[in-house]
Amino acid sequence: MDKKEILKEFSADPDKYYNVKLFSEQGFVRKSCAKCGRFFWTLNADRDLCPDDGLDTYSFIGEPPTSKRFDYTQSWKQVEEFFVKNNHTSVSRYPVVCRWRDDLYFTIASIVDFQRVMGSKVVFEFPANPLVVPQTCLRFKDLENVGVTGRHFSSFCMIGQHSVPDLGGYWKDECVDLDYRLLTEQFGINKDEVVFVEDVWAGGGSFGPSLEYFVRGLELGNAVFTEFQGELGQHTTLDQRVIDMGAGLERFAWVTMGTPTAYDCCFGPINEKLFGTVGIDSDSQILRKYFTEIAKEIDHYDDLNQVRRLAIKNAGITDDQMQKMITPLEGMYLIADHLRTLIFAITDGALPSNVGGGYNLRMMLRRINATISKLNLKLNIDDLIDLHVDYLKDTYPELDEKRDDVKSILKLESARYEESKVHMKKKADKIKEKGTPSVDELITYYESDGITPEYLKEVDAISEIPSSFYSKLSDLHQSDKKKAIAQLPLEGLPETETLFYQDDPMEFDAKIIKVIDDMVILDRTSFYARGGGQEPDHGTIAGFNVVDVDKHANIIVHKLEGG
């Protein structure tokens, strides 16, 4: 489904797809960007450029558009208060380990919480209507940007505002009105600062118009109106239309605080600890200039290293300032971000490993360790975990319950990493002799020997980490999961009865439904399947060791050793 074609058709009839009551009531005008042609709605009739190309892009850094100041946890309290006051149910976040979706290791958006895959169809199960949720999401495609751009995270909180209009919820008019009032009334942002940009969303066979909302070039949220199914021109209205508004909590904090980066207002006291370690003032004019340039340019280039060079030039940063200020700060932000992600993932049952979603977690911990080594930092990871958890526990109390488990697991993993360094050094010396490796070769080195590109850079085996390394690695492992699902001949098999949701017996009787090589499908099972990096149950079936358990749709597959 071509999004450009959908957008072209929708934009040709704005009154049908985009024009909401708020626009006429407040006096918004529809404009076409003089640079890129995108359509947007603004209260400023003289504005000719969309937020991506506007002269005010990221001008909130150092000069916030509101007198109110809210950090990460305070911003959620403001959001929750507003929506509850406006008849929404606030629900707790779902696990970041996406056990209910066979095609995902981790929860990547708030709407995923409520999606249930039934064969080839996606249906929704909402615990309330309408609702708001502070959903922690994990995404690994942009790992190379984390710590560098000022706004990329490996985990972030997506404010999910969801409504089913045909079951007592609301539709476009009320959704956009609520989001506008959230910005202007609750967060105190001037009405003239808010710009809505027309867009579309498509996925899973359904699609609909969307309105992204920006303040000074920063996209704060995107209200998607999932309305249609089928191919454009032959599409029909969905039986269950859904409002899927996702907003970035980190960005709400950033736009009100006006700090050089979003990291500065989202990690709480851990920043003070880290900055004190390297003796840097994170609020200097130099940093404001540099990170403003990075943020403005990152979406216009594919090569992160090129963006950094351009930002250095435009901000007038010297080599000495780069080495003494920017590089250490990037490392601090990376450590804080990756550690927070690991805390959420391990709390929810995932483990660093060489398989599935655990692969990404092990990679992030190795990036943390490589950064600490490169910058020669004296850090106690347990202390940093405590700072993160203490800051977040009022919003996410479950983190407090699992903090000791997180510490133990990361300590064990870090010890394994240290033990592997002798082998890694020998391998790195051989790599250095061969010359600069390709991205594919770097992936092979990591997968076969556990050598991160950060380590290779630290020992001068490579000069720069390719911008595409982590996105390519992430795509590779996500596609592996989808391929595995697609290749198993499971058509026509009945769903597996799951006993672990009942009494979870250690022994049980079951019938064999199908055998595929060394894999067995039973009519019922007490074995818990692998999910999002969480290890599966182990045991025996008819005397054979069960070495892996996977769930495909609602069918559980047991892999036997020597079967």
- Closest C-alpha among 167, 148, 432, 98 to residue 295: 148
The token duo for 265 is: 């207002």
Reported as a single tens digit per residue, the pLDDT across 522-549 is 999 988 776 544 557 788 998 888 888 8
Please say whether the beta carbons of 194 and 184 come within 8 A. Answer: yes
**40, 117: one domain:** yes
Beta bridge partners of 541: 544
**244, 287: one domain:** no
Instruction: Grade residue 361 by pLDDT with cuts at 50, 70 and 90.
Output: very high
Give residue 532's pLDDT: 43
Q: Please give, one letter per residue, the 3-state secondary structure of 302-371.
A: CCHHHHHHHHHHHHCCCHHHHHHHHHHHHHHHHHHHHHHHHHHHHHCCCCCCCCCCHHHHHHHHHHHHHH
Give the mean pLDDT of the chain.
89
Question: Does some domain include residue 183?
Answer: yes
Question: Does some domain include residue 172?
Answer: yes
**Rama region for 413: left / alpha / beta (φ>0; ψ in -120 to 50; rest):** alpha
**505, 357: one domain:** no
Question: Does some domain include residue 490?
Answer: no
**404, 510: one domain:** no
Question: Does some domain include residue 264?
Answer: no
Strand (E) or helix (H) holding 483? helix 469-487
Residue type for position 57: T
Last residue of a domain, one of 227, 256, 285: 256
Mean pLDDT of 311-322: 88
**279, 244: one domain:** no
Q: From the CA atom positions of the chain, what is the Rg in Å? A: 25
Give residue 286's pLDDT: 84
Highest-confidence segment of 122-131, 170-179, 324-333, 364-373: 170-179
Task: Report how far residue 30's alpha carbon sits from residue 117's, in angstroms, rounded to the nearest whole number.
Answer: 38
**251, 275: one domain:** no
Is 70 exceeded by the pLDDT of residue 149?
A: yes
Instruction: Grade residue 478 by pLDDT with cuts at 50, 70 and 90.
Output: low
Is 80 exceeded by the pLDDT of residue 488?
A: no
The DSSP secondary-structure symbol of 557 reads: E
Give residue 499's pLDDT: 82
pTM comes to: 0.82
Mean pLDDT of 436-453: 85
- Closest C-alpha among 325, 302, 322, 297 to residue 312: 322
Residue type for position 256: T
Mean pLDDT of 100-106: 86
Give residue 27's pLDDT: 98
Which range has the worst mean pLDDT, 104-108, 336-340, 534-538?
Answer: 534-538
The DSSP secondary-structure symbol of 11 reads: H
**368, 252: one domain:** no
Is 80 exceeded by the pLDDT of residue 425?
A: yes
Question: Does some domain include residue 12?
Answer: yes
- 3-class state of residue 280 by DSSP: coil
**396, 530: one domain:** no
Highest-confidence segment of 100-104, 265-269, 294-298, 464-468: 265-269
Looking at per-residue confidence, does 3 or 18 come out higher? 18
Is 70 exceeded by the pLDDT of residue 443?
A: yes
- Closest C-alpha among 342, 341, 365 to residue 416: 365
Is 90 exceeded by the pLDDT of residue 191?
A: yes
- Closest C-alpha among 190, 197, 191 to residue 214: 197
Please say whether the beta carbons of 227 and 237 come within 8 A. Answer: yes
Instruction: Grade residue 392 by pLDDT with cuts at 50, 70 and 90.
Output: very high
Domains contained in the chain, number: 3
CB atoms closer than 10 angstroms to residue 313: 10
**394, 530: one domain:** no
Mark out the alpha helices in 44-161 (DSSP H runs).
72-85
Please say whether the beta carbons of 529 and 551 come within 8 A. Answer: yes
Last residue of a domain, one of 256, 289, 315: 256
Report the percent of the chain where pLDDT is more than 70: 94
**477, 514: one domain:** no
Phi/psi for 226 (5° steps) reads -75, 110
Mean pLDDT of 215-238: 91
**203, 144: one domain:** yes
Q: How many helices (H) and strands (E) does the chain have?
A: 19, 18
Question: Does some domain include residue 428?
Answer: yes
**14, 160: one domain:** yes
Domain that holds residue 538: 497-560
Question: What CATH number is given to the structural domain containing 554?
Answer: 2.40.30.130
Give residue 555's pLDDT: 87
Mean pLDDT of 311-327: 88
Question: Does some domain include residue 191?
Answer: yes
Question: Does some domain include residue 262?
Answer: no
Give residue 533's pLDDT: 43
Please say whether the beta carbons of 546 and 527 come within 8 A. Answer: yes
Please say whether the beta carbons of 253 and 71 come within 8 A. Answer: yes
Question: What CATH number is given to the structural domain containing 83?
Answer: 3.30.930.10
CA of residue 495 relative to chain centroid, distance: 31
The token duo for 65 is: 């558009």
Beta bridge partners of 118: 121
Mean pLDDT of 14-29: 98
Instruction: Grade residue 479 by pLDDT with cuts at 50, 70 and 90.
Output: low
Reported as a single tens digit per residue, the pLDDT across 113-143 is 998 876 667 788 999 999 999 999 999 988 8
